[in-house]
Structure 1
Amino acid sequence: MPNPFLEERLPVNVRLGTSYADDYPVLITTASGGVEYRKLINPFPVRSFHVNFTADQASLWASVLALYHRAYGKFAGFRVKCRDDFSTNGMTGSPTPLDQALANTASGIYQLRKFYGTNGAALSGVGYPSRIIYKPVAGTVVAAKNGVTISSGLSVDTTTGLITITPAPLIGDNITAGCQFDIPCRFNSQIEVTSVDVAMRDCGSIDIIELLQP
């Protein structure tokens, strides 16, 4: 049974008053002589956010709390827009059809993704990780086949990040795409609310973590 996911966005812009970091799960074993043996669990970045905000609008902190309760705390996922990284074109540029090479999952079906780092060491399997884009923003996806923009026969599932091209391209065709995207996340802490004033609430530090398979 799939984990529950709320197709709505955290109502706080994740930028000001917020820190975030990408990590890669690595299993490290140290031998008696001090030699490390490192195993990469998976090649995908996992982003965590630490959100701090004081709201002088009752509707804002109330909406954050409402999302927290609808998600049953750490149980259900939701969308997060990182204001420093929400586009396949660089970090914040306008998406273009040539932004990223797509992975073919089935005939005519492709998974949106975004690469990080550099492809200089790609042949050795190091240095070119990618983030699977499960939550593209509706109306922002553009794609191309062999460098030519696809103007018809393109459908997008904004809940999975899968795009379908009809008729299906040939195996050797180069399919690229670009979009704006949200990151699927869940709460990783409680939300502690402090009443600062009649109309002001301090929500302290809220921990949020990316879901690799929402």
Structure 2
Amino acid sequence: MPGEFLEQRIVGGVSYGSSYTDAYAVTITTTAGGAEYRKLVHPYPVRKFRLVFREALASMWADVVNLYHRCYGRYAGFRVKAFDDFTTAPDGRSAPTRTDQALTYVSSGVYQLVKTYGLDAAGIAIGRPSRVIYKPVSGTVLIAKNGALLVSGVTVDTTTGRVTISPAPAYPADTITGGCEFDIPVRFDVDLQVDQSAPAIRMLEGVELVELLQP
């Protein structure tokens, strides 16, 4: 079952040297003859961050350390902004638009924000993975019905990424699209290490976070 979640974003002086990966859960069995049998466990990328913070001693506690303790280390989740991928635009950084992504139908009038990856101009693919957007940024969500921006009757839950439209569109006749800025739900994946690099400066190296697929 999902654990606790704090609806706040980690902040602080993220330094060069930070990195992230997108991993897919694939099991690979190799036969004696060298043939491989590969199974895709789930079609979603799981993002992992390795952050480096250079913090003044006075701000380190407020920015990172207190959050770590509020989360009880690996126990609770929180938000992080992925600076290369924080909008629904194809490049991950441009301003979101109302037609960026097709929303997933959940029930009458209720849709889920998502972002699809792997666009290829030639259309070459075995499929396109998507990330469920659970944590849209408040005030950034744009929703359209059949391409027309909806300016009323739209409610966005910024803790689940679900959008409720009233009156409910006709499904599947009406096409619902949307765009937004979003955070990635994560948790700490290692114990926090603080290096005393100078009297008033601290380095927090190897702050590892892992995405929560079901926060």
TM-score, normalised on structure 2? Answer: 0.93
Asked if the contact 1:88/1:179 (under 8 Å) is kept, the reply is yes
Matched, 1:25 2:25: yes
Asked whether the 8 Å contact 1:111–1:162 carries over to 2, the reply is: yes
CA RMSD of aligned residues (A): 1.5
- Contact 2:11–2:63 under 8 Å retained in 1: yes
Aligned to 1:149: 149
1:116-173 C-alpha deviation (Å, 9 max, x unpaired) = 1126256xxx241111000000000001000100111000000000000000000111
**Matched pairs, number:** 211
**Post-superposition offset of 1:57:** 4.9
Structure-2 change in CA distance of 1:14 and 1:149 (3 Å): farther
* Conserved? CA contact 2:5–2:78, under 8 Å: yes
Mapped partners of 2:14, 2:129: distance in 1: 23
* Residue 66 in structure 1 maps to residue 66 in structure 2: yes
How much identity, in percent, do the aligned residues show? 54
Cα offset, 1:12, TM superposition: 3.1
For 1:81, the equivalent position in structure 2 comes to 81
After superposition, where does 1:49-64 map in structure 2 within 5 Å? Answer: 49-64=49-64
TM alignment of 1:1-214, pairs within 5 A: 2-12=2-12, 16-90=16-90, 91-118=92-119, 120-121=123-124, 126-171=126-171, 172-214=173-215
Question: CA offsets per residue over residues 54-90 of structure 1, 9 Å max, x none?
Answer: 2125213543010000001001000000111100013
Counterpart-to-counterpart distance in 1, 2:33 and 2:132: 38
- 2:174 partner amino acid: D
Name the SS of the counterpart of 2:42 in structure 1: coil
Return 5+ residue gaps in structure 2 as ranges: none
Farther off after superposition, 60-69 or 183-192: 60-69
CA distance in 2, matches of 1:196, 1:14: 16
Kindly state the Cα deviation for residue 11 of structure 1 after the two structures are TM-superposed: 1.0
Residue 53 (structure 1) shift? 2.0
SS of residue matched to 1:27: strand
3-state SS, counterpart of residue 67 of structure 1: helix
- 3-state SS of the aligned residue for 1:196? strand
* Matched-pair contact (CA < 8 Å) for 1:15–1:84: no
**Distance change >3 Å, CA 33–CA 131, structure 1 → 2:** same
Q: 1:15: how far off? A: 6.9
